[in-house]
Amino acid sequence: MGAGGRTSVPPSPKKPEFYPLKRVPCSKPPFTLSQIKKAIPPHCFKRSVLRSFSYLIYDLVLASLFYYVATNYFPSLPQPLPYVAWPLYWAMQGCIFTAFWALAHECGHQAFSDYQWLDETIGFILHTFLLTPYFSLKYSYRRHHSNTGSLERDEVFVPKKKSALKWWAKHFNNPLGRFLEISIQLTLGWPLYLLFNITGPPYDRLACHYDPYGPIFSDRQRLQIYVSDAGVLAVTYALYRLVLAKGVGWVISVYGVPLLVVNAFLVMITYLQHTHPSLPHYESSEWDWLRGALSTVDRDYGILNKVFHGITRIHVAHHLFPTIPHCHAMEATKVIKPVLGEYYQFDGTPVYKAIWRELKECVYVEPDEGDNDKGVLWFRNKL
What region does 24 belong to: left with phi over 0, alpha with psi -120 to 50, or beta? beta
pLDDT tens-digit readout, 329-342: 999 999 999 999 99
**Is 119 in contact with 112 (CB distance < 8 Å)?**
yes
The 8-class DSSP code of residue 341 comes to G
> Does any domain span residue 19?
no
> Does any domain span residue 140?
yes
Confidence at residue 337, expressed as pLDDT on a 0 to 100 scale = 97
> Does any domain span residue 238?
yes
Identify the segments of the chain with pLDDT beneath 70.
1-20, 371-373
Give the DSSP H or E segment for 346: strand 346-347
> Does any domain span residue 31?
no
Instruction: Kindly list the strands in the beta sheet with 281-282, ordered across the sheet, starting from the edge strand earlier in the chain.
Output: 281-282, 376-380, 364-366
Confidence at residue 176, expressed as pLDDT on a 0 to 100 scale = 95
> Does any domain span residue 305?
no
Confidence at residue 372, expressed as pLDDT on a 0 to 100 scale = 63
> Does any domain span residue 318?
no
> Does any domain span residue 320?
no
d(CA 194, CA 323): 24
Q: Which domain holds residue 117?
A: 49-285+352-380
Confidence at residue 71, expressed as pLDDT on a 0 to 100 scale = 97
Q: How many domains does the chain have?
A: 1
Confidence at residue 17, expressed as pLDDT on a 0 to 100 scale = 44
Give the DSSP H or E segment for 34: helix 33-38
> Does any domain span residue 169?
yes
Confidence at residue 373, expressed as pLDDT on a 0 to 100 scale = 63
